[in-house]
Structure 1
Amino acid sequence: MKAKGYRPDELTFLSLLTACSVSGLTDDGWVLFKSMQKDYDLVPQTEHYACMVDLIGRTGDFNEALRFIDEMPLAPSSAIWGSLLRVSRNSNNIEVAEMAAERISEIQHDNTGCYVALCNMYADAGRWDDVFRVRDLMSEKGLRKTDAVSLVELPTKQYSFVNGDMSHAESLVINEESDKLSTIIGENLHERDDVFDPVDRPVMANRHSVRLATVFGLISARIGSPVIVKKNVRVCDDCHDALKKISKFTCREIVISDSSIYHHFCEGSCSCGDYR
């Protein structure tokens, strides 16, 4: 853009900062953030600050991230605290996650995402008393976890799946293929206590919506073509790990767009570098 004489705007910098955050380019992110005002007289907005919180948090320096939030000229929004919550989850920093979730709930009383994130962290840490405590709190507030829905794109149509879905004509075949893949990749299947289907029953990892959609794509799309899936919530750790292995075994590219970023699974690895 600079070479062609085009002037970047706020959206340009938001895209750049997001790319730096996802790629872990901390130094480049800082240069761009400072350049907004210094070189282009653009005032950073909440979205830009949220990117910077994510960028700093990915380094693991949560003291610096909190200092940055304290010194912002804007009042921290739920998006700012949401960025901090996301990076604290990725770093398994429950203390910071609890603080961020509390700030979010103070701003948005009906925000279920912060409670779900805490439940997942507590479950991963084996803190089941805290899992049930948070669930009870959600129940008291009348909050319910967003149902996971995944859409797989085929040339002529999109097909949707929910956790534990048995509504499709090919459901038995899909489940059978999913079980075969789980065996092949050596997946230790278990019911994730933090993932439920629409009638609140625990769902095994290879019955999650994203897995069902991916398997359907693998058996329905043209051989060798990439499988493209859209998911409305974050891909769980179990599915993320399994999809890497499935991409290697099947020699297929799998692209998952979740509520956070795009995941490009190819030959056993993911473009997110396992930092989501």
Structure 2
Amino acid sequence: MHPDEAHVWQLDPTRVAGREPTEAAAALLSPEERARPAAHRDPRAGHTFLVARGLLRCALSELVPEVAPAVWSFTRGPYGRPQIATPRCHTSVRFNVSHTRDQVVCVVVRDADCGIDVEPAGRTVDVPLLAGDVLAPAEAAVLAAAAPEHRSEVFLRHWTLKEAYAKALGVGMRLPFAGLVFGPPTTGAPRLDPAAHPEGADWQFAQWVTARGPAGQGWVVSLALSRPGGRELRIVRHDRWPTCPPSPSRGHLGVQM
């Protein structure tokens, strides 16, 4: 795994379907992970969780092929951020996962903090209710200038950037979103306003909206990466299941693409 690269996977969990691939995905997980889908009232949400965890393990093993997917174990930081516990020689590898209905995203990088978030671009949002808690005044002005039919997506562009940054920092919703000021995310690579956030020079952001399919649905994806030594990371995007070694006695995960 090259230290100057951040690898991002994005896929539709409904393409991992059927009993055999689902059981293969479950076989990669820890007992605690395997138990969690049963806690979801919606079987589809449970399936998405299972796919997301299987994707993470396989992504890690594609980049660190000497470690089989089922061998990874995880712990949580002070505010609950998942991180690698073992193998201890690979704890410099960082990751983050986000999923929503019909979409899973995962980022893996070495020696850098990372956060990723995904939301349906067409999601209906109560913008007046949420904007005051999420947007800084300059961002609210950008939102107000947008056409009414685009305001939910503009809001989600800001929301996912802040969510990704909070996850990269490892503080989650403890970060005061309205105190963060991003430049308009539709103009080039997003960035923190340098006047309000001198620390923004230590961070790299990216955002994209996936191509909309026949049903008109796309997804807003936002990525936050710290800059180790101030260097820019190359973002490598994948829309396939990771290639990784099989776990002993576990078999491969089949994916319908």
- Range of TM-score over shorter length: under 0.3
Q: Which has the higher helix share?
A: 1
Greater relative contact order (Cα < 8 A, sep 6+): 2
TM-score if structure 1 supplies the norm length?
0.26
Q: Which has the higher strand share?
A: 2
TM-score if structure 2 supplies the norm length?
0.27
